[in-house]
Amino acid sequence: MEANIFFQYTLFLLGSILLIVLIFLGVKMILTLDKVDKLVEDISEKSKKLDGAFGTIDKITDAISSVNDKFIGIAFNLISNFAHRIKKRKERDDEDE
C-alpha cells in the first residue's frame, strides 16, 4: 500500500511541476508573440512608406521612358529622311548620267 501512495504522490508532484513549467512557457510565448506583433507592425508601417517612394520612382521612370521613346522616334525619322534623300539623290544622279 505504501508504494501505491508513494507513486501517487510522486505523480501528483511531477504533474504539478509539469503544469507550472507549461504555464511559465505559455507566459513566455505570449510575451514573445507580443514582441513579434510589434515588430511586424513596425515593418508594415515602413513598408507603406517605401511603397510611396517606389510609386514615385515608378512614375519618374515611366516619364523618362516616354521621353526616351519620343527621342528615339524623332532620331529614327531624321535618319530615315536623311537616308531617303540620299537615295533620291543617287537615283537622280543615275538618271542624269
User: What is the secondary structure of the chain as a DSSP string?
Assistant: -HHHHHHHHHHHHHHHHHHHHHHHHHHHHHHHHHHHHHHHHHHHHHHHHHHHHHHHHHHHHHHHHHHHHHHHHHHHHHHHHHHHHHHHHHHHHHHH-
Asked if residue 9 has pLDDT above 90, the reply is: yes
- To the nearest whole number, what is the mean pLDDT of the chain? 89
pLDDT band at 10 (very low <50, low <70, confident <90, very high): very high
Q: What pLDDT score was predicted for residue 97?
A: 61
Summarised one tens digit per residue, pLDDT across range 60-97 is 999 999 999 899 989 888 888 888 888 888 777 777 66
What average pLDDT score do residues 30-48 get? 93
The pLDDT of residue 96: 66
| pLDDT at 90 (0 to 100) | 78
